[in-house]
Amino acid sequence: MTAADGARASVREDPAVPTVPRIVACPDGPIVVRGDVEIVDDRGRPVPRRRRTVALCRCGGTTIPPYCDGTHKANGFSTAGC
Amino acid sequence: MTATVPAGLRTGMARPQPRGPLGALVWGALDRRPDEVDEEVRAALVTAARTAVASGDLLADDDVQLTLFVLYELHYRGVAGVDDAWEWDADLLRARGVLEAAFEEALRDRVEVPADVAADGRSVADALFALTAPGPGPSVARYVGRRADDDQLHEFLVHRSVYQLKEADPHTWAIPRLAGHAKAALVEIQADEYGGGTPGRMHSELFARTMHGAGLDATFGAYVDRVPAVTLAGVNAMSLFGLHRRLRGAIAGHLAAFEMTSSLPNRLYGDGFRRHGYGTATTEYFDEHVEADAVHEQIAARDLAGGLAEHEPELLPDILFGAAACLYLDDLVGEHVLGAWERGESSLRPAAAAARRAG
């Protein structure tokens, strides 16, 4: 195995270098989505996506669904029981 | 490609009127090339800076804050008619250093920083969310959303213009000073701030469109003469934190606090402009920030500030200081603006100063 092969193998195996989309469940906050994921509504229609990384509402209080608008900070939302 | 660059962005900021003896002396030097300025004037710059910071409230000192603002601008897009070589002139930097040392000392004296926070990502994020939690008190955002008249909306944009027309730039200085998780987080936020590669989506350009929509001049620095010291102090703090590697913790904390106090207020700002009948081209800047900053605050608190605290735990006090300083300075501006509006007065400096310059 050459050094270059070794480097490629370590990149594939390193959990800090995700090769698949990653979803982060933020404590007391939204779901942050990074990577190539299609976001659609209940009829399968694409939801406009204006940025690479998005935050999906988890508290139900957002004014811009499905995205987070920070309302969870004002409505007492907690993920402690989730 | 120059056609795509708004006219006001092509040259450096127009030079504002000096607000005291320090500004007058500095502007006089900047009128010439550095190699034309003799030792006597160079020594006088440092002496004048020492005199300017010797007394009074630095955060409200017009001469000090405007001079700092102009000196910092030499590191951004420059000042019209000022030789680029001044940016790294040792004597000018020495004078700036006198102002900066006093400014930083004033901030460290006055800003209350949370103690007993553990240097792990979760604890740092929790501390920052607690520090930036929305309060019930009066705020510029609530006033703009519900009560501000059209003149007050214009004043609000004028205050904001001294930063938002170069939005994100002061925090970008930190990128080469960070590593790993925190660096990737900062780049992720800044890429979004700069429109993800689309010039028209850059937040500074969205703000320019808001100003145009309100009939204002979106040239950077067009309204510096109207803006009080306290507003300039908020922008100067970002430049101070951003330009010194020593303060990389503070600039990371500052960005976190800035992003974490943005989504909810921006919805109210947008409401204020909608209430007066402004259309989506004018409110887009605010609407964009409702969504963008709800993402950025998570990245900034957890990955940038939290990641930096884990990587360089000795920076944790400065991360929290930078966040608390952002909130403190924002509160000072808020008190000034709301105080003036509640008294039925303008929160800006009189237009006469600007008119005199034009004449």
Number of domains observed in the structure of chain B: 2
pLDDT for A6 beyond 90: no
* B99 and B146 belong to one structural domain: no
Cross-chain Cβ contact A26/B302 below 8 Å: yes
Q: What is the pLDDT of residue B268?
A: 97
Q: Is residue B67 situated within a structural domain?
A: yes
Q: Is residue B66 situated within a structural domain?
A: yes
Contacts from A66-70 at CB under 8 Å and sequence distance 24+? A66/A39, A66/A41, A67/B291, A67/B294, A68/A29, A68/A30, A68/B263, A68/B291, A68/B294, A68/B295, A69/B263, A69/B264, A69/B267, A69/B290, A69/B291, A69/B294, A70/B262, A70/B263, A70/B264, A70/B290, A70/B293, A70/B294, A70/B297
Question: Which pLDDT band holds residue B285 (cuts at 50, 70, 90)?
Answer: very high
* B125 and B104 belong to one structural domain: no
Residue A36 belongs to domain spanning: 20-82
Q: Quick one: what percent of chain B has pLDDT higher than 90?
A: 92
CB < 8 Å to A52, chain B: 188, 191-192, 196
Minimum-distance CB partner of A67 among B133, B192, B291: B291
Instruction: Tell me the pLDDT tens digit for each residue of B15-29.
Output: 999 999 999 999 999
Q: Is residue B116 situated within a structural domain?
A: no
Q: Is residue B188 situated within a structural domain?
A: yes
Cross-chain Cβ contact A55/B295 below 8 Å: yes
* B148 and B193 belong to one structural domain: yes
Residues 6+ apart with CB under 8 A from B198: none
Q: Is residue A55 situated within a structural domain?
A: yes
* B159 and B260 belong to one structural domain: yes
Question: Which pLDDT band holds residue B135 (cuts at 50, 70, 90)?
Answer: confident
CB < 8 Å to A54, chain B: 295
As a whole number of angstroms, the longest Cα–Cα distance in chain B is: 58
pLDDT for A10 beyond 90: no
Q: What is the pLDDT of residue B353?
A: 53
Q: Provide the residue type at B223 as one letter.
A: Y
Q: At which of B51, B85, B110 does a domain end? A: B110
| Alpha-carbon distance B12 to nearest alpha carbon in chain A (angstroms) | 31
Q: Is residue A44 situated within a structural domain?
A: yes
Chain A window 20-59: which residues touch B at a Cβ cutoff of 8 Å? 24, 26-30, 32, 50-55
Domain of residue A72, CATH code: 3.40.5
CB < 8 Å to B298, chain A: 24, 26, 29-30, 32, 55
Minimum-distance CB partner of A32 among B129, B262, B298: B298
Q: At which of B82, B110, B138 does a domain end? A: B110
Domain of residue B251, CATH code: 1.20.910.10
Number of domains observed in the structure of chain A: 1
CB < 8 Å to A69, chain B: 263-264, 267, 290-291, 294
Q: Is residue A40 situated within a structural domain?
A: yes
Residue B228 belongs to domain spanning: 121-358
* B311 and B333 belong to one structural domain: yes
B192–A contact, CB cutoff 8 A = yes
Q: Is residue A2 situated within a structural domain?
A: no
Q: What is the pLDDT of residue A11?
A: 46
Q: Is residue B164 situated within a structural domain?
A: yes
The token duo for A45 is 């229609």
| Alpha-carbon distance B306 to nearest alpha carbon in chain A (angstroms) | 13
Cross-chain Cβ contact B299/A54 below 8 Å: no
A67–B contact, CB cutoff 8 A = yes
Q: Is residue B296 situated within a structural domain?
A: yes
Q: Is residue A15 situated within a structural domain?
A: no
Distance CA B25, CA B22 (A): 5
Q: At which of B110, B132, B166 does a domain end? A: B110
Q: Is residue B57 situated within a structural domain?
A: yes
Q: Is residue B321 situated within a structural domain?
A: yes
| Alpha-carbon distance A58 to nearest alpha carbon in chain B (angstroms) | 12
Instruction: Tell me the pLDDT tens digit for each residue of B289-335.
Output: 999 999 999 999 999 999 999 999 999 999 999 999 999 999 999 99
Decide: helix, strand or coil at residue A14. Answer: coil
